[in-house]
Amino acid sequence: MDAITVESGPASRNRLRSLVVLLGPAFVAAIAYVDPGNVASNISAGAQYGYLLVWVVVMANVMAALVQYLSAKLGVVTGRSLPQIVRERAGRPVRLAYWGQAELTAMATDLAEVVGGAIALNLLFGLPLLLGGVITGVVSMALLAVQNRRGQQPFERVIIGLLAVIAIGFLAGVVISPPSPSGVAGGLLPRFDGAQSVLLAAAMIGATVMPHAIYLHSGLTRDRHGRTEPGPRRSRLLRATRMDVGLAMIIAGAVNLAMLLMAAATLGGRDIDSIESAHAAVREVLGPWAALLLAVALLASGLASTSVGAYAGAMIMDGLLRRKVPLLFRRVVTLIPALLILAAGVDPTRALIVSQVVLSFGIPFALIPLVRFTSDRVLMGADANHRATTAAAWLIAAVISALNLLLIYLTVAGR
């Protein structure tokens, strides 16, 4: 019998405790999967098609879990972030072009998060969107100050706290109005209902993996654990990383699924085309408390995700250009485009759509190097991907990249 299975109770608890203290980086990266850009699409899917697309949420979450684990593993094994390795293997012109697209996707991410926070403050307090955007930026600076002054682990705890608020807020609707068990079970069977459902499913899958989360996760594990030599310590860190990613993605997946199930159970047949219309429908059907929790969760999502996005942007610049920029300065710079868009009176839902298109453009640039590097035995040694893992990762990269290209085309074509 394996030695682990015959350990005494206290020894097993000590082993578990030693793994638990290593958790955290994946919970920060998981914020990307519950950002404001996901809220309207998931609720819209449930309102329009009921339980039909449950399987899409589940499949997308499984795909995202593998991608995030590969990113985390890259940081643990090499002691470097994905942007750092790209810098080492690319010439200067390619490196600068790569940095340009990565920065563009980071700014698009920030736009979506700031707009989401502004919408939440408008729903909660009736604040103008521009003022809400400023407040979102100021609060996110305070969150980044925690990381800047106290280090990564206190920042992780703050983000995990906000993730808990997000989970409670979005899961409340499912508790208040439980979904149909048979409907949920039926929704696990892959199928569609017309061309529009195919397009919506493509949007849900294509927008699953966020480029900045891939770049960031490798850097988070690097900063938390450093480079570890092959041996028991690395094996222990990789086990902890699998646990970290698994728990974080279960929570993120549950939140996304809860959005869809709540809408399927209570908002069927309604035209939900924006976060505001989703909030109004929840208030009408489930009452003011459910609507309040939804708005609070959206605010927590905006605050957490915009802080994480700014953190990722600084890590990208440091990795690709070896230029360290103070996080608070970076927060101000990337906040300006979002505030200008809000000041110009651009429809916030349209701004979210445009930001998702820009993010879609950056997906292949993050996924393809990630799979390539984690499959490289010279770089990863014995911890390089298994052939089956590599095949699955390339398939995921191809599917997500193709869907994102399709979404870009359909959005630009106005279809």
Q: What is the DSSP letter of 386?
A: P
Whether residue 266 contacts residue 286, with contact meaning beta carbons closer than 8 Å, is answered with: yes
Q: What pLDDT sits at residue 335?
A: 84
**∠204-245-104 over CA atoms, to 5°?**
50
- What mean pLDDT is reported for the chain? 86
pTM, full prediction: 0.89
8 Å CB contact between 254 and 54: no
Integer Cα distance of 11 and 43 in angstroms: 45
> Quick one: pLDDT at residue 20?
60
Domains of the chain: 22-262+276-413 (1.20.1740.10)
pLDDT the model gives residue 4: 38
Question: What are the distances in angstroms from CA 347 to CA 181, 274, 275, 279, 344?
Answer: 37, 10, 12, 17, 9
Geometric angle at alpha carbon 389, from 385 and 392, rounded to 5°: 140
Residue 15 C-alpha from the chain's centroid: 29
Give the Cα separation of 259 and 255 in Å (integer): 6
What's the CA angle centered on 81, arms 166 and 59, to 5 degrees?
Answer: 45
What is the distance between the alpha carbons of residues 135 and 155, in angstroms, rounded to a whole number? 19
Q: What pLDDT, on the 0 to 100 scale, is given for residue 22? A: 65
* DSSP-assigned states of every residue in 382-393: GGSPPHHHHHHH
Kindly report, residue by residue over 274-320, the tens digit of the pLDDT.
788 888 888 988 899 999 999 999 999 999 988 888 888 888 888 99
Question: Residue 277 in 3-state DSSP?
Answer: helix
CA dist., res. 18 & res. 72, Å (int) = 18
DSSP 177: S
- pLDDT given for residue 215 in this prediction: 93
Tell me the two tokens of residue 293. Answer: 């929790």
**What is the Cα Rg of the chain in Å?**
21
The residues, ordered by sequence, that sit 6+ positions from 273 with a Cβ below 8 Å of its Cβ are 40, 44, 349
Task: Evaluate whether 374 touches 385 at the Cβ level (below 8 Å).
Answer: yes
Check residue 103 and give its pLDDT. Answer: 82
Which two three-digit tokens encode residue 180? 């149909």
Predicted confidence (pLDDT) per residue in 350-391, tens digit: 777 677 777 777 888 999 999 999 999 999 999 999 999 999
- Those residues of the chain that have pLDDT short of 70 are 1-22, 206-208, 353, 410-415
